Copies of this chain bind each other. A is one copy, B any other.
Amino acid sequence: MARPRNPLLSRERIVAAALELVDTEGLTALSTRRLAAVLGVSGPSLYNHFATKEQLMDAVVDEVVGEVDLSMWESVDTDGWAGPVTAWARSYRAALVAHPNLVPVLAQGPGRRANSLRLADAVFGGLVDAGWARGDATRIGALMRYFVYGSALGSFAGGFVDDQEIYAAEYPHLGQAHLLAEHRRSVDEGAFETGLTALVEGLSRQYPHPRRPTPGPSAAPSAAPPTGPRPRP
């Protein structure tokens, strides 16, 4: 065929097809050759649009991160930080859970991905606007990320095999663990909500009165030792 007069591919089409392939058949099913076949082209064609498979994955990942709602961070001044951080964590988790096979790839940090950086910027800026010291805002953003990623990465309940024999014999307290697989969604969501509530409540207790933000140019994440109260060692 050689070069058609209308391009067969675009970055958008490739990313959409890759996401669908990962969602339906898993991360290992996403090879450049299979992806190209789905798109009706030959394998090397993809390299006209992405330099490497890794850059392609970056684009797929950033697409998913772009689905996270960040609008709640705009109203931090009037609403405080607890409501926004809770709503943001739920939206973040929902975006990841919609594409569970991608979570290990997502977990590699914001790097240079536009939507990932937009997210980090909104969260950090929102926490600082709410009155948190920069070191605290950095830590809170990080620890919320830990919790959200952990909750999306591999279901807890789904990780138990649905086979009673394995558990009952050897592990005295796991006699009904095989039932967890059935209730996977409710257990995972219940654990997430319980932990989210505990985190926000615990942070409120540790740091009861975040300072009002200082006027002037926006603060940036502190890389220096934290200035707020430290957790107990």
Interface residues of A (CB under 8 A from B): 104, 107-112, 114, 117-118, 120-121, 124-125, 128, 135, 138-151, 153-161, 166-167, 170-177, 179-180, 182-183, 186-188, 190-203, 205-206, 218-226, 230-233
CB distance from A31 to the nearest CB of B (A): 14
Name the prevailing secondary structure of the A interface residues: helix
A220-B154 in contact given A159-B111, A186-B225, A200-B202 (Cβ < 8 Å):
no
* Inter-subunit contact B195/A146 (CB<8 Å): yes
CB distance from A155 to the nearest CB of B (A): 7
* Inter-subunit contact A139/B191 (CB<8 Å): yes
Q: Which residues of B contact A222 (CB under 8 A)?
A: 176
Q: Which residues of B contact A157 (CB under 8 A)?
A: 142
* Inter-subunit contact B218/A172 (CB<8 Å): yes
Q: Which residue of B145, B173, B224 is within 8 Å of A156 (Cβ)?
A: B145
Q: Which residues of B contact A114 (CB under 8 A)?
A: 170
* Inter-subunit contact B139/A180 (CB<8 Å): no
* Inter-subunit contact A223/B176 (CB<8 Å): yes
* Inter-subunit contact B167/A117 (CB<8 Å): yes
* Inter-subunit contact A121/B201 (CB<8 Å): no
Q: In the assembly, how many copies of this chain are there?
A: 2
* Inter-subunit contact A171/B121 (CB<8 Å): yes
Q: Which residues of B contact A203 (CB under 8 A)?
A: 194, 198, 202
Compute how far the CA of A96 lies from the CA of B175 in the bound complex, rounded to whole angstroms.
27
Q: List 27 A-B contacts (CB under 8 A).
A: A117-B170, A117-B171, A125-B172, A128-B173, A139-B194, A140-B191, A140-B194, A143-B194, A144-B195, A145-B150, A146-B147, A146-B150, A146-B151, A146-B156, A146-B191, A149-B153, A150-B150, A175-B220, A176-B221, A180-B223, A186-B225, A190-B230, A194-B231, A199-B202, A201-B205, A202-B202, A205-B205
